[in-house]
């Protein structure tokens, strides 16, 4: 829906409504532009001429990380193989390259992003590119570039071409001054990592573009995600994935967080389903644009205990990484997600016992297959 503009004579102010049901707001006439960048005159918001019945055409940025390949698989099942483009700056492995469209895309290259969106008539972007919490602390400049400059490029391209945009946030968007038990959607957010700071920035910029330009921005704050068939990319919650791989391979695991470090976690199938659900629902059902989603919380010792029910000989020792420990100690222990459950019916399926069973089934099967080859 186009912007409605009305210039009031008396004040020289411009009133805008965005067609999204938000309150109009005013701003100085001089400062108003129709788009975040000065785009060509043929670019207009919400101009994509797809009928409601058409499938979305999806671009996933940073798609070769822990979450992108699984999401592409889910979306391709739903929308068709050729309607979902995976992109990244890395070379895809064979099985990914042959499973559907893949393109090189560096989110720091605005023109390249715009070309992909235009040439492929993209209608949804899932923006996964990021440096996660632990690697971000090891390279703050790169994290700032990818997580903040890259975000700005994606926001602009999405706003200019009427693209629905999903950006994940994280438990890492909270900090030591946030309530750590049952952390709600709206509370103090003063994270102490560049990752967290960039994610709060993403939440605020996405919501700002929604109110200011009508961008259809949707955001879920994910807990730590546990997956069997994809490796995590340098986060604080990675220990929980590694424990399974080491347990099956060596029967031993050295944990880099203290035994009682409790964090919100989620099995990947729940995370990807939540992402599709929140992208798919009508905008009227969203009372907010950024939602917490929750499944379970556990500590290393609780996870180890559950794994040991299946593998009683598993040996766990602890060698604490002070950087990761400090990050974990500043994050929520338990997440509150009442709004997601109320507004769009979010419901997780995996608790800790089901998660452990699913991970061990997959990894054992996978290692048996590798041994047989």
Ligand X SMILES: C[C@@H](O)[C@H](N)C(=O)O
Residues annotated catalytic, as ranges? 195
Q: 237 with 263: CB under 8 angstroms?
A: yes
Q: Which conformational region is residue 21 in: left (phi greater than 0), alpha (psi within -120 to 50 degrees), or beta? A: left
Total chain residues near ligand NAD (CB under 6 A): 30
Kindly report the CA angle at 211 between 206 and 216, in degrees rounded to 5? 55
Q: What is the DSSP pairing of strand 13-17 with strand 4-7?
A: antiparallel
Stretch that binds ligand X, among 165-173, 270-278, 289-297, 354-362 (CB under 6 A): 165-173
Nearer to ligand NAD, 174 or 222 (CB): 222
What's the CA gap between 336 and 291, in Å, rounded? 10
- Residue 130 within binding range of ligand NAD, rule CB under 6 A: yes
Sketch the per residue contact string, 211 through 240, with ligand X: x for CB under 6 A, - otherwise: -------------x----------xxx---
Among 87, 170, 178, 299, indicate the residue that binds ligand X (CB under 6 A): 170
Which pair of tokens denotes residue 103?
């393109």
Nearer to ligand NAD, 16 or 200 (CB): 200
Which pair of tokens denotes residue 64?
């070769």
Length of the chain: 373
Question: Tokens 């061990």 belong to which residue?
Answer: 360
Among 73, 88, 239, 293, indicate the residue that binds ligand NAD (CB under 6 A): 88
Nearer to ligand X, 87 or 170 (CB): 170
- 32 CB-near residues (< 8 Å, 6+ apart): 14, 16
- 45 CB-near residues (< 8 Å, 6+ apart): 2, 3, 34, 35, 159, 160, 162, 213, 214
Stretch that binds ligand NAD, among 179-187, 233-241, 298-306, 321-329 (CB under 6 A): 233-241
- Residue 68 within binding range of ligand NAD, rule CB under 6 A: yes
CB of 346 to ligand X, least distance (A): 18
Nearer to ligand X, 162 or 235 (CB): 235
- Residue 71 within binding range of ligand X, rule CB under 6 A: no
| Long-range Cβ contact pairs of 361-365 (< 8 A, separation 24 or more) | 362/228, 362/229, 363/228, 363/244, 363/245, 363/248, 364/248
CB of 7 to ligand X, least distance (A): 44
- 83 CB-near residues (< 8 Å, 6+ apart): 55, 56, 57, 58, 75, 76
Sketch the per residue contact string, 101 through 140, with ligand X: x for CB under 6 A, - otherwise: -------------------------------xx-------
Total chain residues near ligand X (CB under 6 A): 10
- Residue 103 within binding range of ligand NAD, rule CB under 6 A: no
Sketch the per residue contact string, 151 through 170, with ligand NAD: x for CB under 6 A, - otherwise: -----------------x-x
Helices of type H across the chain: 68-79, 94-97, 110-119, 133-138, 140-144, 150-160, 194-213, 239-250, 268-280, 300-308, 322-329, 338-344, 352-372
CA distances from 297 to 54, 89, 277 (A): 39, 33, 22
Per partner kind, with CB cut-offs from 5 to 8 A, the member of ligand NAD, ligand X, none near residue 236 is: ligand X
Nearer to ligand NAD, 18 or 61 (CB): 61
Q: Which residues bind ligand X (CB under 6 A)?
A: 132-133, 170-172, 195, 224, 235-237
Residues that bind ligand NAD (CB under 6 A): 61-62, 64-68, 88-90, 105-108, 128-130, 132, 146, 150, 168, 170, 222, 224-225, 232-235, 237
């Amino acid at each position: 829906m186009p912007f409605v503009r009305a210039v009031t004579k008396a004040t020289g102010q411009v009133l805008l409504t965005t067609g999204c049901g938000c309150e109009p707001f005013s701003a100085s006439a001089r400062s108003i532009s129709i788009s975040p960048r000065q785009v060509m005159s043929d670019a207009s918001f919400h101009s994509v001429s797809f009928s409601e019945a058409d499938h979305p055409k999806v671009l996933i940025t940073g798609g070769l990380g822990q979450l992108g390949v699984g999401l592409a698989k889910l979306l391709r099942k739903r929308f068709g193989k050729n309607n979902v483009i995976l992109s990244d700056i890395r070379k895809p492995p064979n099985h990914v390259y042959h499973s559907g469209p893949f393109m090189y895309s560096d989110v720091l290259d605005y023109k390249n992003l715009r070309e992909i969106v235009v040439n492929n008539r993209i209608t949804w972007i899932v923006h996964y590119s990021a440096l996660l919490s632990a690697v971000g602390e090891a390279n703050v400049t790169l994290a700032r570039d990818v997580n903040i400059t890259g975000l700005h490029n994606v926001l602009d391209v999405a706003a200019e071409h009427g693209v629905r945009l999903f950006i994940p946030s994280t438990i890492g968007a909270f900090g030591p001054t946030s309530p750590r038990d049952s952390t709600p959607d709206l509370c103090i957010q003063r994270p102490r990592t560049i990752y967290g700071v960039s994610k709060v920035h993403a939440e605020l910029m996405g919501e700002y573009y929604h109110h200011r330009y009508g961008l259809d921005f949707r955001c879920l704050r994910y807990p730590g995600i546990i997956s069997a068939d994809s490796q995590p990319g340098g986060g604080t919650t990675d220990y929980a994935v590694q424990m399974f791989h080491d347990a099956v391979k060596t029967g031993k695991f050295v944990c880099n967080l203290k035994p009682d470090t409790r964090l919100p976690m989620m099995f990947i199938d729940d995370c990807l389903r939540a992402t599709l659900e929140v992208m798919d629902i009508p905008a009227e059902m969203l009372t907010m644009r950024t939602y917490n989603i929750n499944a379970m919380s556990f500590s290393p010792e609780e996870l180890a205990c559950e794994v040991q029910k299946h593998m009683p000989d598993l040996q766990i020792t602890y060698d604490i990484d002070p950087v990761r420990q400090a990050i974990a100690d500043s994050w929520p222990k338990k997440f509150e997600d009442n709004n997601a459950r109320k507004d769009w019916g979010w419901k997780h399926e995996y608790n800790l016992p089901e998660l452990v069973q699913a991970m061990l089934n997959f990894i054992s099967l996978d290692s048996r297959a590798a041994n047989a080859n």
